[in-house]
Structure 1
Amino acid sequence: MSRSPRASDVAARAGVSRSAVSRAFTEGASVAPDTRTRIMAAAEELGYRVNYLARSLKEAAPSKLVALVVSDMDHSLRARLVDLLARRLVARGFRPVLLPWSQGDDPHRVIDMMLNYNVSGAIVTSDTPPGEISQQCARFGVPLVLVNKAPVDARAARVVQDTASAGRMAAELLHEAGCRRVLYAGQTRASFTIDDRRRVFCAALDDLGMTLAGEVTGPSQNHAGGMVAAGRYLAAKDRVDGVHCANDFLALGFIDGLRHAGVPRRDWPAIVGCDDIAEASWPAYDLTTLRQDPELLSEACIEALATRIAHPNSLAETRTISVAAVRRGTTRKTDID
Structure 2
Amino acid sequence: MRPKEGNGLSREPRRVTSFDVARAAGVSRAAVSRAFTPDASVSEKTRQKVYQAAKELGYRVNYLARSLTNKRSDFVGLVAAGLDNPYRTQQLEHLARALIARNYRPILLPTSKEADSATVIGQLLHYSVSGVIVTSDAPPSHIFEECAVEGVPIVLINKGEDFPFVDRVVSDDRMSGYTAVDHLIETGAKRLAVIAGKAVSYSSRRRAEAFQSRCTGLGIEAPLIPVAINDYRHGHEAAEKLLDMGIDGVFSVNDYMACGVLDGLAKAGRGDGSVKVIGHDDIPQASWIAYELTTFQQPCDVQAEQVIDLLTSRMSEPDAVARVEFTPVTLIKRRSA
SS of equivalent residue, structure 2 residue 336: helix
TM-aligned CA distance change 1:293 to 1:162, over 3 Å: same
RMSD: 2.7
For the Cα contact (< 8 Å) 1:110–1:133, is it kept in 2?
no
Q: 1:50 aligns with which of 57, 61, 76?
A: 61
Q: Superposition pairs for residues 22-61 of structure 1, below 5 Å?
A: 22-27=33-38, 40-60=51-71
Greater mean alpha carbon deviation, residues 115-124 or residues 71-80: 71-80
For the Cα contact (< 8 Å) 2:76–2:129, is it kept in 1?
yes
TM-aligned CA distance change 1:47 to 1:250, over 3 Å: same
- Cα deviation per residue 1:279-310 (whole Å; 9 max; x = unaligned)? 22222212222221222212212222221122
TM-aligned CA distance change 1:318 to 1:28, over 3 Å: closer
Q: Give the aligned partner of residue 305 of structure 1.
A: 311
Aligned mates of 2:225, 2:258 — CA distance in 1: 12
The yes-or-no answer on 1:215 pairing with 2:243 is no
Aligned mates of 2:44, 2:271 — CA distance in 1: 71
Q: Give the aligned partner of residue 4 of structure 1.
A: 15
Aligned mates of 2:39, 2:200 — CA distance in 1: 47
- Matched residue type, 1:220: I
- Cα deviation per residue 1:207-249 (whole Å; 9 max; x = unaligned)? 122112x332332222112112224445xx3212221111111
Aligned mates of 1:67, 1:257 — CA distance in 2: 38
SS of equivalent residue, structure 1 residue 210: coil
The yes-or-no answer on 1:253 pairing with 2:263 is no
- Matched residue type, 1:318: V
Kindly state the Cα deviation for residue 204 of structure 1 after the two structures are TM-superposed.
Answer: 0.5
Q: Give the aligned partner of residue 230 of structure 1.
A: 239
Unpaired runs of at least 5, structure 1: 332-337
TM-aligned CA distance change 1:33 to 1:306, over 3 Å: closer
- Matched residue type, 2:296: L
For the Cα contact (< 8 Å) 2:118–2:140, is it kept in 1?
no
- Matched residue type, 2:163: D
Q: 1:80 aligns with which of 76, 85, 90?
A: 90
Q: Give the aligned partner of residue 165 of structure 2.
A: 155
Q: Percent identity of the aligned residues?
A: 39
Kindly state the Cα deviation for residue 118 of structure 1 after the two structures are TM-superposed.
Answer: 0.9
Q: Give the aligned partner of residue 281 of structure 1.
A: 287
For the Cα contact (< 8 Å) 1:21–1:39, is it kept in 2?
yes
SS of equivalent residue, structure 2 residue 133: strand
TM-aligned CA distance change 1:11 to 1:226, over 3 Å: same
Kindly state the Cα deviation for residue 191 of structure 1 after the two structures are TM-superposed.
Answer: 0.6
Greater mean alpha carbon deviation, residues 248-257 or residues 8-17: 8-17
SS of equivalent residue, structure 2 residue 164: coil
- Matched residue type, 2:57: L
Q: Superposition pairs for residues 256-335 of structure 1, below 5 Å?
A: 256-260=263-267, 262-266=268-272, 268-331=274-337
TM-aligned CA distance change 1:35 to 1:179, over 3 Å: closer
Kindly state the Cα deviation for residue 152 of structure 1 after the two structures are TM-superposed.
Answer: 4.1
For the Cα contact (< 8 Å) 2:199–2:228, is it kept in 1?
yes
Kindly state the Cα deviation for residue 89 of structure 1 after the two structures are TM-superposed.
Answer: 1.3
- Cα deviation per residue 1:89-118 (whole Å; 9 max; x = unaligned)? 111111111111122234344223321111
Aligned mates of 1:271, 1:116 — CA distance in 2: 46
Aligned mates of 1:330, 1:23 — CA distance in 2: 55
SS of equivalent residue, structure 2 residue 79: strand
For the Cα contact (< 8 Å) 2:21–2:32, is it kept in 1?
yes
Kindly state the Cα deviation for residue 200 of structure 1 after the two structures are TM-superposed.
Answer: 1.4
- Matched residue type, 1:211: E
- Cα deviation per residue 1:19-52 (whole Å; 9 max; x = unaligned)? 5654554456667888767655553343222212
TM-aligned CA distance change 1:44 to 1:174, over 3 Å: closer
> How high is the TM-score relative to the length of structure 1?
0.85
For the Cα contact (< 8 Å) 1:138–1:153, is it kept in 2?
no
Q: Give the aligned partner of residue 108 of structure 2.
A: 98
- Cα deviation per residue 1:287-337 (whole Å; 9 max; x = unaligned)? 222221222212212222221122222113211122222222222xxxxxx
Q: Give the aligned partner of residue 152 of structure 2.
A: 142
TM-aligned CA distance change 1:41 to 1:249, over 3 Å: closer
Q: Give the aligned partner of residue 165 of structure 1.
A: 175
TM-aligned CA distance change 1:221 to 1:132, over 3 Å: farther
> How high is the TM-score relative to the length of structure 2?
0.85
TM-aligned CA distance change 1:228 to 1:300, over 3 Å: same
